[in-house]
Chains A and B, each alone.
Chain A
């Protein structure tokens, strides 16, 4: 575990923003922090960044309590992100990198590489206010990863990104994991969770209501629903009551069935029931999407 938050509590006045929250993030994985608005994601992220302190509980980095010096190992892209509008792009990026402990020369060297990679090198000497929003986001991303932190935290990274930049960001996040970095990001975008995340924690109303690996969670929410594709023939498919056909359509000489299995039935038995009647092309279990799980879990807990 690179990062562990244990029994964290944080109050703002009477309002309990985090209540006995524990999460653990495995080294070299992408960790999704999910939850509806106001659930406490940003509060937890700020605690990890040591911008504020928990009222109770500890945060461990590599198994020992975090210290102020550890923030150098973190790259943080906040949800509310901005830059000094009047300052020149390159100068500002160098300044922010220096604050993260890089030397001026090293910062400039790395920045030039990144700027060229993101095709914004010609903007080095322009004030930030002349940049488009997408370009500013690129600059912010570069500044976040420039000091090659082992732990990266992105708070709602995809909000406000256009699809081109969002894809760019997605690829960069995957590249970072490949290089051995650990990434935590909070998001509403469930499609990106399925695509990117190894593990997640779902926070609702200041508590962790669901956590674990994405595949494990989706399996545990399995509704025993299968999609079977067969070659089309005229006679109808007849199955016993244990196999309920939810939908059926024919597409280019293939029939696609969506079949719900009752308790105790397995895919194998379904196959043996179909096999005498049809030529099977494929069978897939239909796992619930993270979006479905999210909505279901949050509804159970009673959204605000």
Chain B
């Protein structure tokens, strides 16, 4: 037993001291923090000032000849970043553009005699493509002006329109017995994240075990070790040592990511406020009328508690322990088999081949994920969450939707039973092949 501890210690210490371990430990939180911070900085970045010349033949979009009767809602509204100016004809606009470098693009609305309402508009640019937000804004304003024109023509007031377009009926899914809402989207997202996470950690640390075994074989230290440690002790020491590396890394990720996120928010509290304000302002500018705005705001307010409620409805008291359980046992189940695959091979290339059969059950589960998401309690989901080789991933996908307790116990029990069986098989394979090299098999064939 003392020897197994020595092996665990070595496996743990040599890995934790590696630069690559710390690099990965630091990079993942940095990446996550960047994922969080970059959109905020981008939102804060001032837009480029753009000028768009509008040459409208139809007159619907505020042609110059009717400027005295212009209504704000049938007119391109300039904002801080995008200024709209009108030109009488396309030719005039083109001349303007060649003289004035500030002009970003020309919006040309062609009018055909055959149609009352134009169906075709073109945004001309010169050498530089107009920025995304310009194209987006032009399109949005075109649709708004056209819609207002039609509303007017049919005698529908803005308030009436806002009422119509904002009135929705909410469809909820609720548990008949508990009366709790299902919040399917939140659960789907969570299930997918958990399932992918467990797949990635099993695979990542499983192949570390395999590489460790191949290293011992190819460096030929194995024979020195097995004369003082039983192969089983060596294998289990490696498996457990790497499991502890995995848990350490995981814990560091959680802590460091948390610190990074809090840090970003704290150091940029001003920025965050401004970002929120800016968001509100843009919302204001884009939404036509006051009434519609209020409706939208009310809608959003209703949305937020729903999401929060969705998240709070998830039983983290169940999910976290089950995740830890399936992570540990799923890893243990695969890690011993990965060790056997490593023992069968002489080098890294061989090990790819021998580990292929191990990745298949995991891949199948990943491929079945869309079908399982559709029916979290369907036959496929239940079967996959019972088979020990697929249950860690499958159960993690199902767990946010709520799994009947007996099913959970069965799945866990089967996994726990499968672990020693797998280990026994893996240890047998490991013991018998750890000292066998190509050289040996080749020689035997020659006889």
Contact = CB atoms under 8 A, between A and B. Distances in A.
B186 interface: no
Contacts of B184: none
B146 interface: no
Contact of B228 (A46, A87, A100, A140): A100
Nearest to B225: A99
Interface centre among B216, B220, B223, B447 (most CB of A within 10 A): B223
B443 A46 contact: no
Contacts of B220: 78, 80-82
B443 A84 contact: no
Nearest to B447: A15
Interface in A127-180: 140, 143
A98 B10 CA distance: 11
A85 B221 CA distance: 10
A251 interface: no
Nearest to A68: B230
B219 A84 contact: yes
B14 A71 contact: no
Interface residues of B, number: 24
Interface in B196-234: 215-216, 219-230
B105 to A, nearest CB: 59
Contacts of A78: 220, 223-224, 227
Contacts of A143: 224
A82 B227 contact: no
A99 B3 contact: yes
A143 B227 CA distance: 13
B308 to A, nearest CB: 49
B6 interface: yes
Contacts of A68: 230
Contact of A51 (B6, B14, B223): B223
B219 A83 contact: yes
B444 interface: yes
Interface centre among A76, A82, A140 (most CB of B within 10 A): A82
A71 B228 CA distance: 7
B435 A46 contact: yes
Interface in A84-110: 84-87, 95-96, 98-101
Interface string A23-38: 0000000000000001
A140 B6 CA distance: 19
Contact of B6 (A12, A71, A95): A95
Contact of A86 (B14, B230, B444): B14
Nearest to A79: B223
Contacts of A74: 227
Nearest to B233: A99
A83 B221 contact: yes
B21 to A, nearest CB: 12
A80 B221 CA distance: 8
A81 to B, nearest CB: 6
A71 B227 contact: yes
- Could you tell me the dominant secondary structure of chain B's interface residues? helix
Interface in B355-373: none
A166 B300 CA distance: 83
A99 B229 contact: yes
A49 B443 contact: no
A236 interface: no
A38 B221 contact: no
Contacts of B435: 46, 51-52
A98 B225 CA distance: 11
B1 to A, nearest CB: 13
A87 B14 contact: yes
Given A13-B444, A51-B435, A83-B219, A96 B224 contact: yes
Interface centre among B6, B228, B443 (most CB of A within 10 A): B228
Contacts of B14: 84, 86-87
A39 to B, nearest CB: 12
B444 A80 contact: no
Contacts of A96: 224-225, 228
Interface in A177-214: none
B223 A12 contact: no
Nearest to B18: A86
B6 A81 contact: no
A188 B447 CA distance: 22
A146 to B, nearest CB: 12
A52 B222 CA distance: 14
Interface in A1-34: 12-13, 15
B428 to A, nearest CB: 13
A72 to B, nearest CB: 8
Contacts of B222: 82
Interface in B432-447: 435, 437, 443-444, 447
A99 B6 contact: yes
Contacts of A71: 227-228
Contacts of B10: 95
Contacts of A50: 227
A244 to B, nearest CB: 44
Nearest to B218: A82
Nearest to A72: B228
A81 B224 CA distance: 7
A12 B444 contact: yes
B403 to A, nearest CB: 44
A275 B53 CA distance: 132
A99 B228 contact: yes
B4 to A, nearest CB: 11
B6 A82 contact: no
Given A96-B228, A99-B3, 13 more contacts: A38-B443, A51-B223, A51-B435, A72-B228, A81-B220, A82-B220, A82-B222, A82-B224, A84-B216, A87-B14, A99-B7, A99-B228, A140-B224
Q: List the 10 closest A-B pairs by CB distance, nearest first.
A: A82-B220, A78-B223, A82-B219, A99-B228, A82-B221, A80-B220, A49-B227, A76-B227, A100-B228, A51-B226
26 contacts: A46-B435, A50-B227, A52-B435, A71-B228, A76-B223, A76-B224, A78-B220, A78-B223, A78-B227, A80-B220, A80-B223, A81-B221, A82-B221, A82-B222, A82-B224, A84-B14, A84-B219, A85-B215, A85-B219, A86-B14, A87-B14, A95-B10, A96-B228, A101-B228, A140-B224, A143-B224
Interface of A: 12-13, 15, 38, 46, 49-52, 68, 71-72, 74, 76, 78, 80-87, 95-96, 98-101, 140, 143
